[in-house]
Amino acid sequence: MKKRKQGLYAVIDIGSHSIRMTVGEIIRKGCFKTIEHLWVPVLIGKDTFSKGVVSNQTVRDLINVIKQYLEVMKSYQIEDYKAIATSSLRGASNADAVMERVFNATGIRIEIIEPIQEIKYYYHSARKLLKDRYGFLEGNTLIISIGGGSTQIMMLVKGKIAFTQSYNQGTLRLLRSYDLPERFFDYALSPVTINFINNMKNYPEIKGIDCFVALNDDLIRLIESIGVDKEVEDIYRISAPRFKSLFQEVENLTIEEINKKYSLNENVAGTTMMALLMTAKFFALTKAKDILFPNIPMSGAILDYLTCHDDNEQDGIIDDELRDHIISSAVYLGRKYRFAEEHSMHVTKIALSLFDQIKSTYGLPEIERMLLEVSGILHDIGAFVNPSSHHKHSQVLILSSEIFGLSKSEMNLISLISRYHRKATPKPSHIEYMALPMHERVIVSRLAAILRVADALDNIHNQAVEDITVSLLDTKCEIQVKMKIGQIEYFDIVKSAVKSKGDLFEMFFGVPISLEIKV
């Protein structure tokens, strides 16, 4: 595992209307000090969101800013850095060409990150700032991150992440609707607000929102210009009455008046107005007494995250806190689609037991255990659409969902593992499966093989099989099952189901399954 060294580190964030760089000194693991934070307005998102491509002039502006940042890095003798882009390049059809031009001109490689990665970085820093304050981890907390091109929402229940949502709707995209009547602005914003309201209805156990956290750099600059005092370092807290007064004051100004009154850069006055309107819309949906505005730039959030996590994730190591959030999000996703929770969690338990008892023999990596666990929880959610072919519906629902801490590629693997928990095994005619690189096809096949066996062991959804003991022999995989008292009569049904669904296990691991009752 590569450990991040103490010393200076830089993070460049290429956003929709500005390019930022944070230079920080890593004091020790989990602790850094910001040395310098730079901000240069460049409207990359304006090109991307209106034309679908980044213009040559904007690319030249981007290169010039990065060259300036390189000079700053050289002055600090910084060699370790990370450069990322969000929706500014994510939606551009010429993103690859832009990144190659930047690399050729500066030597800087840009990584385009997914929305789910953005909220992960923001959450990590927000939790460090707020964990012991304002009931952040005690009740129901809504975090909304408003960017120029996208908006990310996260819902926490007693400190555990229930769900996240990402939308291609941000302040720059909304600017085009600024001069329209209010009802049209509401329509433009509805993909975010209405979808969030509808999603909340899927979780009747979540009773309201107690703590509201808004993340937006433009609003931080506005708050600083107004002169709001920080209650604690890097946190602004504004009461509901004061925010209402502030909102009404700004709402009645033109963008030019906002720019002049609050001394904002002309490139951000409009996006600041949009961020304020969006924050007001969401705050109205809560019963929170205050709005919390943590001062967390994306570049700083990434630097903070890197100081805490070394390169664990690249090595396939997931810490306990992240694992808890992943499982919490998966369970809430299952509840959204009214899954058979007792069956799904029992199948997951059996699947993990089987995995743990064969992992040393077959060299199964720990990251695959997490993929199997999430697949076990979600394998039957497709029954919400239709019990017939529910394995295929599960694949579609999982692939169209987000789980905090998991990438799109990981969600794709989980969707396919779940898809193969019943019926046909992977075939060359299955396009989604064959589109995977070979090593990922192997992951899908072996984890689906384990999941099929676990699902067969609870074939009639009555949890008759309490536990299993696995012995790998030369000619077979012997599984001794411990049956619930009074349910041994179901053993023959379970045995028949395992015989029917053990095909992929035998095909992949090379041994048939032999089922016996544990005495």
Instruction: Name all contacts of 281-287 with Cβ < 8 Å and 24+ positions apart.
Output: 281/189, 281/193, 282/142, 282/144, 282/193, 282/196, 282/212, 282/214, 283/212, 283/214, 283/240, 283/243, 285/193, 285/196, 285/197, 285/209, 286/142, 286/208, 286/209, 286/210, 286/212, 287/208, 287/209, 287/210
460 three-state secondary structure: coil
- Weakest-pLDDT range from 168-182, 236-250, 403-417: 168-182
**Mean pLDDT of all residues belonging to the chain:** 90
As to burial, measured by CB atoms within 10 angstroms (0-12 exposed, 13-18 middle, 19+ buried), residue 131 is: exposed
* pLDDT (average), residues 227-233: 78
End-to-end CA distance of the chain: 44
- Of residues 361 and 315, the one with the higher pLDDT is 361
Can you list the domains of the chain with their CATH numbers?
7-113 (3.30.420.40), 116-297 (3.30.420.150), 316-517 (1.10.3210.10)
Is the pLDDT reported for residue 2 higher than 50?
A: no
Alpha helices (H) along 389-430 = 390-399, 408-419
* pLDDT (average), residues 35-59: 92
Task: Return d(Cα 470, Cα 354) in angstroms, integer.
Answer: 7
What would the pLDDT profile of 17-30 be if each residue is shown by its tens digit?
899 999 998 888 77
* pLDDT (average), residues 428-440: 94
**pLDDT score of 265:** 75
- Of residues 307 and 316, the one with the higher pLDDT is 307
Reported confidence tier of residue 123, pLDDT bands at 50, 70, 90:
very high
Is the pLDDT reported for residue 5 higher than 60?
A: no
Q: Are 411 and 399 in contact (CB under 8 A)?
A: yes
* Residues in the chain, total: 519
What would the pLDDT profile of 486-515 be if each residue is shown by its tens digit?
899 999 999 999 999 999 999 999 999 999
**pLDDT score of 29:** 76
The beta strands (E) that lie in 227-305 are given as 235-239, 290-294
What would the pLDDT profile of 146-179 be if each residue is shown by its tens digit?
998 899 999 999 999 999 999 888 888 887 665 5
Amino acid at 221: R
- Side-chain-side CA neighbours of 338 within 13 Å: the count stands at 7
CA-based torsion, 425, 428, 430, 431: positive or negative = positive
